[in-house]
Amino acid sequence: MSDSSASAGGRSADVRRMTFDDNALVAVLYGNHDRHLVRIEQLAGVQLNARGNQLSIAGVPEDAAVAHKAIGRLYERLKRGLSIEMADVDAAVRFARTGAETGEDEGIRTRRRTVQARSPGQRGYLAALRERDMVFALGPAGSGKTYLAVAMGVSLLLAGKVERIVLSRPAVEAGERLGFLPGDMKEKIDPYLRPLYDALHDMMPAEQIANRMESGEIEIAPLAFMRGRTLAHCYVILDEAQNTTPMQMRMFLTRLGEGSRMVITGDPSQTDLPGNQRSGLIDAVDTLSSVDGVRFVRLTSKDVVRHDLVTRIVEAYDARDKRTRDEPR
C-alpha cells in the first residue's frame, strides 16, 4: 500500500490517496457494494472515491486523517489473514478518532472466533483480565463488560489454564426466591442467566457447551447458589453485580480459591435493588479501591460497541444524571 496527499482549498479541505498492492484484499476491504467505505464515510465525515486498487479520501484535514488511519488499519488486518466485519470497521474509526495506537493485540482465541478490543477502553480491560486475578468492570450497556470476560474465560478453559468456568448473576427480580416461579429449577433461573448463555454460544459450538455443562466444566448458577463454596482452579464471573447487596458481594468475593480468577461486571447506573438498598458493587468499589491485586476498569459510552443509537442513549442518560446531581437542593 502506498499513500499520497494533497491539499484542496488550503487548510479547509484535504485529499489523500491510497494505493493497495493486493487486489483480492481490496474487494474485502471495500465490502459488498462498497458497504465498508460507506460506513467509513458516515463515521469519519469524509468522501471516498474508489477506482480499482486506488482510493481517494476528501474531507477536512482531521477527518481525512482519521479515515486514512482507519483504512490503513483495516488493510493491515486483512494482510494478517483476519476477516473484517462491520463492527471492525467501526472499531478502526473509533481507534483512529481517539488517537490510540493502531497496532492490535493478539485478541482472545475461542473455538468460534478471535475476540479483539474494539475501543481503547476495551483494550485496557483485556490487559487487566490478563494481568489480574480479580477485576471489576464498570460501564454502560453494550460496552463489552460481560462479553469480553466470557471470551477470556473460554480461552483459558480451552488452553487448560483453568479447570472450570463459573458464571453467576443475582436474580433480583425474583428476590432470589425462585420457588414462586413456574417450572423446574433450570426453567426458573434460565431467564436471568440468558445473556451468559448467549455470550457462550458466540464462543463455542452448542454441542461443546452442552457437553462441558454436563461434565461440570461450565457452570451457570444464580448468586444465591455460591454461598458456602470455595471456587478453586476456575474462572468466575459475576454479572449484573450492581444488583447485589453488600453482604452478597462480600460472600461472593470470599469464594475465591487457589488458582482462580474473578471478574465482576456491572453498571452502577442501572441498579434494580428495592428502595434505598446500597449496591454491593458500589460498596465494593469504595471498600477495595486500595487493595493490592484488585483492578478496577471503568468503561464509558465511548466503549459502547452496539448500535450507534445505544451510544447516544447512554450519553443522554448520563447528561441527565449529571444535571440532576448539579441541581441545587
pLDDT digit string, tens, across residues 18-59: 999 998 999 999 999 999 999 999 989 999 999 999 999 999
Q: Which candidate, 78, 68, 67, 65, places its Cα nearest to that of 21?
A: 78
Longest dimension (CA), the chain: 72
The answer to whether residue 290 sits within a structural domain is yes
Q: Contact 272/202 with Cβ under 8 angstroms?
A: no
Query: Of the given ranges (96-105, 133-142, 278-287), which has the lowest mean pLDDT?
Result: 96-105
Q: Which is more confident, 1 or 298?
A: 298
Q: Give the per-residue pLDDT at 105.
A: 59
Grade residue 82 by pLDDT with cuts at 50, 70 and 90.
Answer: confident
Q: Give the per-residue pLDDT at 81.
A: 85
- Phi, psi for residue 117 in degrees, rounded to 5: -65, 140
- In angstroms, the CA 156 to CA 154 distance is 5
Across the range 132-158, mean pLDDT stands at: 93
Q: What percent of the chain has pLDDT over 70?
A: 85
The CATH number of residue 221's host domain is 3.40.50.300
- Mean pLDDT in the chain? 85
Is the pLDDT reported for residue 93 higher than 80? Answer: yes
Is the pLDDT reported for residue 100 higher than 70? Answer: no
Is the pLDDT reported for residue 306 higher than 70? Answer: no
Is the pLDDT reported for residue 104 higher than 60? Answer: no
DSSP state, residue 139: -
Is the pLDDT reported for residue 271 higher than 50? Answer: yes
Task: Give pLDDT tens digits for 226-268.
Answer: 888 889 999 999 999 999 999 999 999 999 999 999 999 999 9
> 220 and 282 share a domain?
yes
What's the domain range around 206? 108-326
Whole-prediction pTM: 0.75
Q: Give the per-residue pLDDT at 303.
A: 84
Q: Give the per-residue pLDDT at 176.
A: 46
Q: Which candidate, 129, 174, 134, 137, places its Cα nearest to that of 153?
A: 129
Is the pLDDT reported for residue 178 higher than 60? Answer: no
Is the pLDDT reported for residue 114 higher than 80? Answer: no
> 293 and 255 share a domain?
yes
Of 71, 98, 125, the residue at which a domain comes to its end is 98
**Domains held by the chain: number:** 2
Across the range 151-175, mean pLDDT stands at: 85
- In angstroms, the CA 310 to CA 124 distance is 21
> 26 and 153 share a domain?
no
> 50 and 131 share a domain?
no
The answer to whether residue 309 sits within a structural domain is yes
Across the range 157-167, mean pLDDT stands at: 93
Q: What's the half-sphere exposure (Cβ side, CA atoms, 13 Å) at 124?
A: 16
> 88 and 124 share a domain?
no
Q: Which is more confident, 261 or 322?
A: 261
Strands 14-19, 54-59: pairing kind: antiparallel
Q: Which is more confident, 176 or 15?
A: 15
Is the pLDDT reported for residue 175 higher than 60? Answer: no
> 123 and 41 share a domain?
no
Q: Contact 163/327 with Cβ under 8 angstroms?
A: no
> 151 and 287 share a domain?
yes
The CATH number of residue 50's host domain is 3.30.1370.10
Across the range 212-222, mean pLDDT stands at: 90
Of 78, 98, 118, the residue at which a domain comes to its end is 98
Q: Give the per-residue pLDDT at 267.
A: 93
Helices 145-158 and 185-203, axial angle in degrees (round to 10): 80
Is the pLDDT reported for residue 181 higher than 60? Answer: no
The answer to whether residue 167 sits within a structural domain is yes
> 83 and 115 share a domain?
no
The answer to whether residue 103 sits within a structural domain is no
